[in-house]
Chains A and B, each alone.
Chain A
Amino acid sequence: MPETSAGTLTAPTKPEKQRPGGTLYRGREGMWSWVLHRITGVAIFFFLLVHILDTALVRVSPEAYNAVIGTYQTPIMGLGEVALVGAIVFHAFNGLRIILVDFWAWATRHQKVLFYIVVGLWVVTMIAFVPRHLINVFSH
């Protein structure tokens, strides 16, 4: 058998960056807004699941309910609430953007602008919320 010929592939010289899985698709604003929308959506779903379960506890025993809610009054949960509000605010604004993109031809053409408006609105909302909230969390 010949050592090498045009038809046979020899042991490849390994490139420095080995990425056998293929490169990550380099989508733009539309793709990343969708990724964020999905992640925040799933996160909000799990929050709601826990939220419904702990609220339902009050029917089982008000003492148990108070005990569970009491464990939430920590700074770590306070920071978690920042993340939760951040996720909900993004999901809400981006949801409106998706509705516009689906129903309004202008918005379909200018979805990138709308994405940056969503990010802008998110930043403004969070600036209004986060300092006030953190003061509440850390002053108790």
Chain B
Amino acid sequence: MSTATLEAKQTDATTQSFTVTFLIRRFDPDIDTEPRWQDFDVEMYATDRVLDALHKIKWEQDGSLTFRRSCAHGICGSDAMRINGRNRLACKTLIKDLDISKPIYVEAIKGLPLEKDLIVDMEPFFASFRDVQPFLIANSKAEPGKERVQSVAERERFDDTTKCILCAACTSSCPVFWTDGQYFGPAAIVNAHRFIFDSRDDAASVRLDILNDKEGVWRCRTTFNCTEACPRGIEVTKAIAEVKQAIMRGKP
């Protein structure tokens, strides 16, 4: 009997919908001089995500709401935004993990030029990414028909930083980046780390030289906002610390 009630309750919890208030920070460059907050009431289920709420608003209430999203499953990294004051992917943030007794604040990520509503200009972010030469530079040639051999331990060395999806959640959570847009930012350093510690790569010293700069890794103040924001669970600050140490040693 008690089991039956428990089951009934569980199904109730998952099928019952409730009204959630979203406060979205909007900005239309054609109309607004300043961003402004607008509230929307959306009917949601506990298993819905913030992205579903944005879809519902755009499709049913206000078609002018503008945001980026592509895969909607946490792989493409398009929908990083500030949800209740923290950088999250809208497609990986479930309603049941948020306090819906209060409005949910959604705004664009910080530190990059705001273009419209939840969309920022990602170009400065990608410029830093390109600057660290995020591609394999190898002097050795693999044997014909073979790949470059790498041991499990050698692959493991940089495994964490291969997971980056370039969503900019880390870089735009960094207090240093907010005030100093010249700083490379966590994401660029993570992607440099991925090649610096790759045994097949031969240009580690070049990348370490690029990051051994006033605006390079030394700007990092270990606030750990990036590690906390990363939707892929990359230990970003740890990766930056490893690059710092590699620069001091002069080799990876």
A residues apposed to B, CB below 8 Å: 6-9, 12-13, 15, 17-20, 22-31, 33-34, 98, 101-103, 105, 108-109, 111
Contact = CB atoms under 8 A, between A and B. Distances in A.
Contacts of A19: 37
Contacts of A26: 84-86
Given A33-B223, A34-B222, 6 more contacts: A8-B64, A9-B26, A13-B39, A15-B37, A18-B37, A27-B175
9 contacts: A7-B63, A19-B37, A30-B225, A31-B225, A101-B222, A103-B245, A105-B241, A108-B235, A108-B241
A139 to B, nearest CB: 42
Contacts of A9: 26, 28, 31-32, 64
Given A30-B222, A30-B224, A25 B103 contact: no
How would you classify the secondary structure of chain A's contact residues: helix, strand, loop or mixed? loop
Interface of B: 23, 25-26, 28, 31-32, 34-39, 62-64, 82, 84-86, 103, 105, 107, 110, 173, 175, 221-225, 227-228, 235, 237-238, 241-242, 244-245
Nearest to B21: A15
Contacts of B64: 6-9
B228 A27 contact: yes
A13 B39 CA distance: 8
Give the one of B28, B63, B221 with max A CB within 10 A. B221
Interface centre among A25, A33, A105 (most CB of B within 10 A): A25
Nearest to B63: A6
A108 B39 contact: no
B85 A23 contact: yes
Nearest to A33: B223
Contacts of B228: 27-28, 30
Max chain A C-beta neighbours (<10 A), residue from B82, B241, B244, B245: B241
Given A20-B36, A30-B224, A15 B107 contact: no
A17 B245 CA distance: 46
A64 B105 CA distance: 58
Nearest to A115: B224
Query: Closest 6 CB pairs between A and B?
Result: A30-B224, A26-B85, A6-B63, A23-B85, A34-B223, A31-B223
Contact of A25 (B224, B225, B237, B245): B225
A8, A13, A15: residue with the most chain B Cβ atoms closer than 10 Å: A15
Given A9-B31, A30-B222, A109-B238, A23 B105 contact: yes
Contact of A102 (B175, B225, B244): B244
A111 B224 contact: yes
Contacts of A109: 235, 238
Nearest to B31: A9
Nearest to A28: B228
A23 B107 contact: yes
A25 B86 contact: yes
A103 B36 CA distance: 43
